Structure 1
Amino acid sequence: MSAKFMILVLCILTISVKLCSQEVLEVNQIESGTEFWELYDEVVPIIETDTNAAIKLYEDAFHNTKNNFTKSSIIHQLGTLYSTPKQFDKCLSMCEELVKSGVSVFFTLRDKTYPSFTKEFENIDRYPSILEQNNELVKKMNEITKAEYYIQKPNNFNENKKYPLFMIFHGGIGSIQNLQHYWRSAFLNENYIVVYVQGGNFICSIKRRFGPEGKTDIKEIFKKIREDYLIDTSKVILAGQSAGGMLSIDLAINNHISAQGLVLAFPVKPREFGADEIYSSGLKGLRISMICGENDWALERQKEMSVIFDKLDVPNRIVIYPDNGHEFPDDFSSQIVKSVNFIDQK
C-alpha cells in the first residue's frame, strides 16, 4: 500500500471523526423553564372552577414575559383552554407574534396538524401565511440543529473525583427544560452528574425529536462526557419517559452503552425486543426499574417486558399507579430515589 494512499485514508478518517463530533453540542446555558412551570402549578388548580381566570393568568403572563419557552408553552395551554370560548383567533395572534420575532411554534408533527387545536386555525384567513413563515423557520433550524446535552454537576462538584452518571432522554418529542422539570431530584443533584439530552430533529423552538440518528448522537455524547469528566463507568444509569425509555432499553440491550441500570417512566416497548435479543446481548448486572400507570395504553407491553426480564434473571421492579395513564406520578421524585437504590443493590 503506497504512502500517498495511506495519507489519503488517514485524512478521510480524520474528516469523518470531526464531522461526527460536530453533530452533538453541549449547551452551557439554556432558557429557563422554571417561570412557566411555576405559572402552570398556579393555574392548574384554578382551571376546573374558573376557566376564564385561568385564561387571564396565562394571557397576562404571555404579554409580560420575555422568556420564549414560557411564551411557547403558554400558547400550548391556551390552545386547549380557548376551545370552549372558541377564541382561536386570539391564540393564532400569539403564535403570529412569536413567528414574526423569529421563534417557531408547534403547528405540525410528521406533516400532520398537531396539537389538535391548531386544526381550528385553518378557518382563519391569515393562517396559511403564518404557517408558511413558521415552516421556513423550522426548515432553516433543521439545517443547523444538533443533538444537544446539558450537564448538571452535583453539589460541591470536585473535578478530581469520579462520579456516577445519570443520562435522561425525552420521549417522542421533548426538550431539556421539560426533562429538568419532570426529573428534578435533590438526590440526583447531590450524588450524580446528570445529563439531559434532546434530539437533533428540530420540531419547533421548544420541541425536539431524536430521529434516525438518535442512537449515534447519544453514543457520541456519552463519549464526549467521558472525555470531559471523571465518570465511574460501573455506575451509569440510562433513563427516560415513553419513547425515551424505549431508547434507553435499546442502548443497553444492544450494548451501545454499558449501563448499570435503567430508570423507565411509562416506557414504550422496542420493536426488536424479546428473550432472544436480550439473551444474545449477554447482559450482566443490569437492573431495571419501571414506573407505570394502570390506565396507560402501553401497560400490557410494559408487563411483557417485565416477564421477559424475569425469565432471563434480569432483576427488575415494576410499579403501577392505579389512577395514572401515560404520565408521571405526583411523587415521581421519590420513585427516582427508590429506583436508584434498587439498581445499586448488589
Structure 2
Amino acid sequence: MRSKILLPLCVLAVSVSTSFAQLNKYNSFEEMIPRTLKYYHDNQLDSAILLAEYAYKTFPAEEEDAITFLGGLYTRNAQYKKATAIWKAGHEKGYCFGLDNPSYDKYYKENSNFKELARVERNWYQNSHIEHEVVLPSGYDKDKSYPLVFVLHGNSSNMKWAKKSWLSEVMQTEYISVFVQSYAFSNKNKGEYKWKYDDDKTIKELRNIYENVTESFPVDTNKIVFSGMSAGGYLALQLAFDELIPMSGLVVNCPVVPKDISDKAIENFVAQKKRIGLITGENDFAIDNQKRLMEKIDKQGGNTKLIINKDKGHEYVEEFSSLLDDYLEWIIE
C-alpha cells in the first residue's frame, strides 16, 4: 500500500515560467511532492502553487493530497478565498483537512467562511474515537509474557491496510501486536484516516488503549515497541521523545520527523537506553530530517539502526517484512 503524507500548513513546497510541457514528465502528484516542497521552503509560493494546481487537475486519484497542499499554499500566499473554496469542494467529496487546528487562527480569525468549514470538521470528529485491534501470536499462552508492538498507520490509511504491510514472522510468533486507527478521518467515503498532532484527545485515547492492553494481556512491560509509517512514525517519535507513553524503543518506516525534538529529549531517550530503528528511502522527502535525528542520537551515544534503501522514496520496500523482523528482535534483545 502506498502511503500519502498530509501535513496542512507545514508541508508544501517550477518557477512560474515552468511550462506544462515540463510538468508532463510526472506520472503522479507523489512524484511532484519533493519539488513542491522545495519551492515552498524556498518561499517560491507561486511556483509551488503551479505544481499543486497542475496535480489537482491532472491526477484525480490524488485529489485529496493536492487539495491539502493547495489549501496550505493558498493560505501562506494570502489567497484565502481560494483556500476556503477548495476546502469546501473537498468537504463535498468527504475529505477532511484538520481545519480546527489553532495554527489557522492567525490567518482566518475573522473569516466566517473558514469558521463554518472548521465547525463542520469539529462536528465530524466529535463522536469519533481511536479504534484498535489486538493480534495474538501463534501458540499464544496466557501464562507466558510477551513483547508488545503498537502499529500506527500512515495518513490516508487505516489499521486494516496497515496490517497488510506490518506483517512479519517475528510479529506473528513472538509479539502481541496492537493495530491502532486514528479517530480523525481524511476521507469518509474511502475509510481513510490521518493523525492529529499535539492533540490531547489522541494522546488520552492512546494511553487508555495502552493501559487496557497491558492490563488485559500478559505483556512484558520492559519490551514495548511503538512503530509507524510516515505520519504514524511522526506520532511514534512524538510519544517517545515527549515521554507520553512508556516504551522500550521505536521501529519507524519513512517517518516525518517532529521539528521540536530537543537535545534534552534526545539525552533522556539515550539515558533510558531506548532504541530506534529507522527504515527509509534515499529519495524520501523527509530523509534529511531523518538522518539529522539519527545523527544527534548517535552523538549522544544512543542505540540506533538506520537503513536507507537505494532508489526508493516514501514507501515500503519489498523486503520490509524481513527488515522488520531484524529490528523487532534487536529492540528487545
In the TM superposition, residue 275 of structure 1 has moved relative to its aligned partner by 2.0
Q: Identify which of 157, 160, 170 aligns with 2:153.
A: 170
Rounded Cα–Cα distance in structure 1 between residues aligned with 2:290 and 2:273 = 20
- Deviation of 1:150 after TM superposition, in Å, equals 0.8
Task: Give the fraction of aligned pairs with identical amino acids, expressed as a percent.
Answer: 25
Q: How far does residue 318 in structure 1 lie from its aligned partner after superposition?
A: 0.5
- Say whether 1:208 aligns with 2:169: no
Question: 2:228–2:251: 8 Å Cα contact kept in structure 1?
Answer: yes
* Post-superposition CA distance 1:117-165 (Å, at most 9, x none): xxxxx9xxxx979927888998775332111111111112222322110
1:158 to 141, 144, 157: 141
Answer yes or no: is 1:183 the counterpart of 2:178.
no
Provide the residue aligned with 2:253 in structure 1. 265
Which of residues 289, 306, 317 in structure 1 aligns to 2:305?
A: 317
Q: For residues 133 and 254 of structure 1, what CA distance do their matches in structure 2 show?
A: 33
Question: Which consecutive unaligned segments of at least 5 residues does structure 2 have?
Answer: 2-54, 73-84, 97-116
Deviation at 1:248, TM superposition (A): 1.1
Give the distance between the partners of 1:270 and 1:321, measured in 2 at CA: 22
Match 1:193 to one of 153, 176, 199 = 176
Matched residue of 2:170: which SS?
Answer: helix
- Structure-2 residue corresponding to 1:240: 228
Structure 1: 5+ residue stretches without partners: 1-32, 34-79, 92-104, 114-121
TM-score using structure 1 length: 0.60
Distance between the aligned counterparts of 1:107 and 1:282, measured in 2?
A: 39
User: Equivalents in 2 of 1:183, 1:286: separation in Å?
Assistant: 21
* Residues 151/83 of structure 1: CA separation in 2 closer, same or farther (3 Å cut): same
**TM-superposed deviation, 1:335:** 0.6
Aligned residue in 2 for 1:288: 276
Note the alpha carbon deviations across 1:10-29, whole angstroms, 9 max, x for none: xxxxxxxxxxxxxxxxxxxx
Contact 2:228–2:252 (CA under 8 A) maintained in structure 1: yes
What CA distance in whole angstroms lies between the structure 1 residues aligned with 2:195 and 2:256? 15
Shift of 1:222: 0.5
Shift of the 288–141 alpha-carbon distance from structure 1 to 2, 3 Å rule, reads same
Change over 3 Å in CA distance of 1:111–1:230 after alignment to 2? farther
TM-superposition CA deviations, 1:231-263 (whole Å, max 9, x none) = 100110110011211211111122222222210
What code does the residue aligned with 1:209 have?
K
Kindly indicate whether the alpha-carbon contact (under 8 Å) linking 1:263 and 1:339 is maintained by their aligned counterparts in 2: yes
Partners of 1:129 and 1:237 lie apart in 2 by 36
Q: Cα distance 1:283–1:256, how it changes in 2: closer, same or farther (>3 A)? A: farther
Which residue is equivalent to 2:286?
298
TM-score by length of 2: 0.62
Q: Does 1:144 align with 2:127?
A: yes
The C-alpha deviation readout for 1:295-334, integer Å capped at 9, x for no partner, is 1111111110111111111110100111100111111000
CA distance in 2: counterparts of 1:159 and 1:111, whole angstroms = 51
* CA distance in structure 1 between the aligned counterparts of 2:298 and 2:279, rounded to whole angstroms: 16
State how many pairs are aligned: 240
What does 1:45-194 correspond to in 2, within 5 Å?
Answer: 109=68, 112=71, 131=92, 142-194=125-177
2:330 is matched with which residue? 342
CA RMSD of aligned residues (A): 3.6
Contact preservation (8 Å) 2:155, 2:192: no
